[in-house]
Amino acid sequence: MITVQDAHRMIRESVGELPLEYQPLSRLQGRVLGEDVVAPFPLPRFTNAAMDGFALRRSDIEGASQDTPVRLQVVSEVAAGAMPGVPVLQGSCAQIMTGAPLPDGADTVVAFEQTSGFGSREVSIFSAPKRGTNIRYAGEEVACSSVLLRQGTPVASAEIAVLATLGIEGVLAGGVPRVALVTVGDELRMPGEALEGAAIYNSNRFMLQALCRAWGIEPTLLLHAPDDRAALRGVLAEALAGCDMLVTAGGISTGEYDYVQELLGETGVAARFWRVAQKPGKPLYFGTTGDNRPVFALPGNPVSAMTCFHEYVVPALCLQQGRAVPEKIEALLAEPFPADKKRYRFLPGTIWQENGRLYCRVSRKVESHMITSLAGADGIIESGPAPDALAAGSAVTCSLFPWSGVRRSAGLV
């Protein structure tokens, strides 16, 4: 049995990044940039108007007000997307739309609302704003050839908008792991089916699928195997043939019908560790295939499975994509934490901000078979082995679920 720290170290040493792939804008969502993005031109690309109004020379409207307007000749109209053809000379101006290039000679734009309006060859100006008002200068946002987005940046809608603004059709990006999920057990039934005898519903299948989706991964295979050597061997072989990571749940302990570890070895998976000094989730297995694909075999207990997925599988998924592993935070216990004398302990709980500090409280239901302890939880609260319960007010480490609203207040979004 190894420590939690050694388990993390072995995963880091064993899991590598997937090859970079060229992806068009339409398929970049959720991926990680595999290269720096350099601006091919400045932003804005040309000096333009920030408001609908009139482009003019500031010196022409000195002292303009509601009581003493200045009248100027309108010599041209400049629409967005059009190039100005007539320069603005002394005593003249150009009607201009938002985003339209600034005509030569103009140094200020007076907003439409501060004038007598469009539609005439002369206009009255009722305001004298500072020189440069309502103008977006070329390159004021981004200089040409500057690094705009760094390699390793996760791509969301904002990054896609930036790339599209620069006319970039696609970029190199990290691969998205093909994850196969396998649940194991004769006793499992699908929701909607009738329960007979000692059968129970298969919650792990849907929980693990939802966890993958919460981290931006759509599982490519969802399989189930009974507690039968031949059937399980076939399911594992099928899953391994079509994935970059295999995650199983169930059949990994020391029971008479727990065949997963043995059969993974028969299919060519080399075990890196089995059993971690933690509670829950002691019978956690991690191995790698001959071509270095990670394999996790999680306990069948749903609370244990979710804890192990969050603590170990999520970092491995991040490593494969070339993205940063989620940071953990520190919070103060609002109530005592029931530490274990020998094992590292993980418990679901609520985490909140109060008076500028983060606080946490473990679930009222602390036994690993109590799946309802996960409902409403913000994340996992953890503690190393300790002879006694940790007192209220103690600082502890917490990891947040991706759907937790606390992520924003903790600065992790």
Together in a domain, 340 and 236: no
| Cα gap 76→292, rounded to integer Å | 67
Same domain membership, residue 219 and residue 285: yes
- Contact yes or no for 341/385 (Cβ under 8 A): yes
Q: Are both 312 and 334 inside the same structural domain?
A: no
Q: What pLDDT, on the 0 to 100 scale, is given for residue 58?
A: 98
Same-domain pairing of 212 and 276? yes
Q: Which helix (H) or strand (E) holds 232?
A: helix 229-241
Closest CA to 232 of 205, 203, 266, 279: 266
- Within this chain, do residues 108 and 196 fall inside the same structural domain, yes or no? no
Q: What integer is the mean pLDDT of 40-57?
A: 98
- The confidence score (pLDDT) of residue 364 equals 87
* Cβ–Cβ under 8 Å, residues 52 and 96: yes
Q: Give the structural domain span for 187.
A: 4-18+177-321
Collapsed DSSP state (helix, strand, coil) of residue 161: helix
Could you give the C-alpha distances from 102 to 47, 70, 178, 179, 330, in angstroms and in order?
6, 21, 51, 53, 52
- Give residue 204's pLDDT: 96
Are residue 110 and residue 187 in the same domain, yes or no?
no
Asked if residue 202 and residue 167 are part of one domain, the reply reads no
Tell whether 94 and 77 lie within a shared domain.
yes
- Across the range 47-57, mean pLDDT stands at 98
Encode pLDDT of 189-205 as tens digits.
999 999 999 999 999 99
Which pLDDT tens digit goes with each residue over 286-313? 999 999 999 999 999 999 999 999 999 9
- Whole-model pTM? 0.84
Is residue 255 scored above 90 in pLDDT? no
Please state, in angstroms and rounded to a whole number, the distance separating the CA atoms of residues 46 and 96: 15
Query: What CATH number has the domain bearing residue 244?
Result: 3.40.980.10
329-355 pLDDT, tens digit per residue, is 999 999 999 999 999 999 999 999 999
Select from 321, 356, 383 the last residue of a domain: 321
pLDDT of residue 330: 97
Instruction: Judge whether 143 and 43 are in contact, CB under 8 Å.
Output: no
Instruction: Quote the tokens at residue 33.
Output: 């940039």
In a shared domain, residues 304 and 197: yes
Q: Are residues 249 and 350 in the same domain?
A: no
Backbone φ/ψ region at 215: left (φ over 0), alpha (ψ -120 to 50), beta: alpha
Position 413 scores a pLDDT of: 47
Residues 316 and 183 in one domain: yes
pLDDT tens digits, residue range 107-152? 999 999 999 999 999 999 999 999 999 999 999 999 999 999 999 9
Q: Last residue of some domain: 296, 321, 346?
A: 321
Q: Report pLDDT for 405.
A: 77
What is the predicted pLDDT for the residue at 117? 95
CB proximity list for 175: less than 8 A, separation 6 or greater:
17, 18, 19, 20, 21, 31, 244, 320, 321
CATH code at position 338: 2.40.340.10
59-96 burial: b if 16+ Cβ within 10 Å, else e: ebbeebeeeebbebebbbebeeeeebeeebeeebbbbb
| Domain C-terminal end among 150, 173, 196 | 173
292 shares a domain with 150: no
pLDDT tens string 142-182: 999 999 999 999 999 999 999 999 999 999 999 999 999 99
Residue 75 maps to which CATH number? 2.170.190.11
* Average pLDDT rounded to a whole number, residues 368-377: 86
Number of domains in the chain: 4
The CATH number assigned to the domain holding 161 equals: 3.90.105.10
C-alpha 232/C-alpha 297 separation (Å) is: 13
